[in-house]
Amino acid sequence: MIGGKSIKFAFAPQFATTVASAAAGAAISAELDGALSGTPQQVMISHGVERPARVMRLSRTLDLGPVSIDRLLVRTADFGSANSIRDEKPDPSEMTDDIVVNGKRKPSRAAYIVYVGADVLRGCTSITYDKPRHLIHLTCK
C-alpha cells in the first residue's frame, strides 16, 4: 500500500522511462512528497497509444527491493487524476485558450499502475518470477 492505495508494479524494460498512471502518481506523491516539473511530453503506453505525462520528482525515494526511484513520469490524462500533485513551479505555457467540454459519462475506475522502465532497471541483470510463490526477484548491481 502506498498513499492508502494498492498499486501494481509492472517491470517493463522495453519502456525507456518509468511511467505511472495518474492515480498511481497521485498516491505516490501523497506518500513520498512528489511534485510535478517541466512541460508535458507524450509517452507511449501500449500498442502505439500515447498519453501526456510530466516528470514527478520525489522528496523520498520509492524503494522496490534493490532499486530506488526518485523521479518518474506521471500520465496526466487517463483513468484517474493527477490534479492533487503539486507543481514545483507552475508553467505559464500551460495556460492556453483550449476549450474544455464537460459532460456526464459512466465513471471510469482509476488505474493504479507503475511501469518500471529501463531507466530504473538498467543495472539489473535478471528479473525472475516465481509463479507459485507470487514473488519477483531482481538481480541488480
Q: Is residue 85 part of a domain?
A: yes
Domain count, the chain: 1
Q: Is residue 121 within 8 Å of residue 10, measured between CB atoms?
A: no
**Phi/psi of residue 21, each to 5°?**
-65, 165
CA 5/CA 24 separation, integer angstroms: 8
Kindly state whether residue 3 falls inside one of the protein's structural domains. no
92 pLDDT higher than 90: no
- pLDDT of 91: 60
Q: What is the pLDDT of residue 93?
A: 58
Phi/psi of residue 23, nearest 5 degrees: -65, -45
Cβ atoms of 21 and 79 closer than 8 Å: yes
Query: Does 78 fall in a domain?
Result: yes
Query: Which residues lie below 8 Å from residue 22, measured CB to CB, with a gap of 6+?
Result: 74, 75, 76, 77, 78, 79, 80, 81, 82, 110
What's the mean pLDDT when you consider all of the chain?
86
Q: Is residue 101 part of a domain?
A: no
Residue type, 19: V
53 within some domain: yes
Average pLDDT, stretch 40-45? 88
- Parallel, antiparallel, or unpaired for β 113-116 and 8-11? parallel
pLDDT classification of 50: cutoffs 50, 70, 90: confident
Q: Going along 79-134, which residue ranges are E strands?
A: 86-87, 113-116, 124-130
